[in-house]
Structure 1
C-alpha cells in the first residue's frame, strides 16, 4: 500500500502519476474509512451484544458489555495514535444504542441509531450525487489534497465521485431495506444476527467499487502543492 504523503507526483502539477494511481487510491480509501480493522471494530460490539442477549436475554448486561468492548477498542486506537475520528465514532455509536436499548427496555433499539444513520447516509450520498456535489468527493477531496478542485477543473474525477456516491447510496439503501422490516416485525436476535452479517460485506463492496471508479479516473490535482508553488513564486519575485 502506498503512502499518501509519499506518492509520486508530477513536479509541474503536483498530481500523482498513473503508475501509482491505484495504490494511492487504495491508501486514501483505507485512511478515510478506517480499513479492515475499522470495519471489524464497528461490527464486533454488535456481535457481542446479540451473543450475550441471545444467551441470557439481559439487555443491560449485553449493552454494557458491548459498550465496554467499544471503549477498549477506542483506547487501543488512541494508544496506537490512530486518527481520532476512528477511535471515537464507534464508541459514540455503540453508546447511543446501548443507552437507547436500556432506557426503552427493547433490545432491538440497540441497533436503531446505527440503522437510522445508515439510512440517512444513503439518502445523503444519493442526494448529493444528484445535486452534482457528490458526498464522496467532499470526504476524499482533502485526503487526496485536491479539496474541491474536482468540481470544476477535473470532470473525470467528478464523474468518478458521482458514480461512487451512487454506489454507496444504493448499497446502503439495500441494507436498510433488509434491516428495517426485521426491526418492525422480527425479534431482537434475528435483527442482531442479520445486522452483524451485513456489517462488513456491504462496506467492502462499496470501498471496492469506489477504488475501481477512482483508479480509472484522472489523477487528483494537488491544490496544496499549487498553493505552495505560488507562495514560493511570490517570495522569489519579491526577492528579485
Structure 2
C-alpha cells in the first residue's frame, strides 16, 4: 500500500469514533429493548400456551402453565441478579391475558390484551412523531444520557428518532393488520402460532432500522456531563472568590 492509499490519521480517528458511536448505539438498544434474551422470554409463555392448548384444548391448564413459566423466568433473573424490568413486563402481559381469557371463557382472549397493547404502541409511535416528540427519542434519550436535548439542540438526532419511530409504528401496524383479522376468523391455535411466529422478526427489523438511523445521526449530547462540568466550574469560581476575599 502506498502512502496515498493509506488512511490518514483524521480518517482513522473518524472511523474509530464511528465504531464507538455504533457500539454505544447497539448497547443502548439492547438495554432499552431487552435484546434477544428479553424477546425470547416474551415468546416462551405464549409458545407454551399455544403448545398445550393445541394438544388438550384446556384453557385453564394452558393459561396457568404460561403464567407459571413467566414467573419462573422472573425468578431466574432475580437469582442471577439480572435486570428484571423486561421480565416483569412479560409477567404482567401474560397475567392480563390469563385474567381476560378466564373471564370470557374464550381461549383466543389470552392474546387480546397483548394485541391491543401492540396497536396502542403503534399509534403512540406515530402520534408522538407527528407531534414533534417521537416516542423512540423519549425512550432512548435517558439511555444515551441526552434526555430531551435532541429536541432543540440536536436536529439531526431528532430527525433520526422520527424516522425510527415511524419505522416502529408502521411495522407494528402491519403486524396488527395480520393479527386482528385472525382474531375474528381463525381458531385459537392458528392465531397462537401466527402470533408466536410474528414475535421476533418484526422486533428485529424495527431494532435494526433504529440502529441504522441512529448510527448515521450526530452523537448524543451528554447533558449529565454538561451538568457536572457546570458544577465543577461553579465550585472553582467559588473557591477562587474565597481565595480573593482572604487575600
Q: Is the 8 A contact 2:41 2:87 kept in 1?
A: no
Listed as ranges, the matches of 1:25-174 within 5 Å are 25-174=25-174
TM-score, reference length from structure 1: 0.92
Distance apart, 1:126 and its partner CA:
0.4
Q: Which has the larger radius of gyration?
A: 2
Length, aligned pairs only: 225
Distance apart, 1:103 and its partner CA:
1.8
Structure 1 runs not aligned, ≥5 long: 1-15
User: In the alignment, what sits opposite 1:184?
Assistant: 184
Listed as ranges, the matches of 1:15-34 within 5 Å are 17-34=17-34
User: In the alignment, what sits opposite 2:3?
Assistant: none
Change in CA separation of 1:56 and 1:125 when aligned onto 2, cut-off 3 Å: same
Moved over 3 A (4+): 16-19
TM-score, reference length from structure 2: 0.89
Q: Is the 8 A contact 2:125 2:169 kept in 1?
A: yes
Q: Is the 8 A contact 1:118 1:176 kept in 2?
A: yes
User: In the alignment, what sits opposite 1:197?
Assistant: 197
Asked whether 1:230 is paired with 2:230, we answer yes
Q: Is the 8 A contact 1:41 1:90 kept in 2?
A: yes
Task: State the distance in 2 between where 1:87 and 1:193 align.
Answer: 21
Distance apart, 1:67 and its partner CA:
0.4
1:19-78 Cα deviation digits (max 9, x unpaired): 400010000000000000001001110000000000000000000000000100111122
Q: Per the alignment, in what secondary structure is the counterpart of residue 199 of structure 2?
A: coil
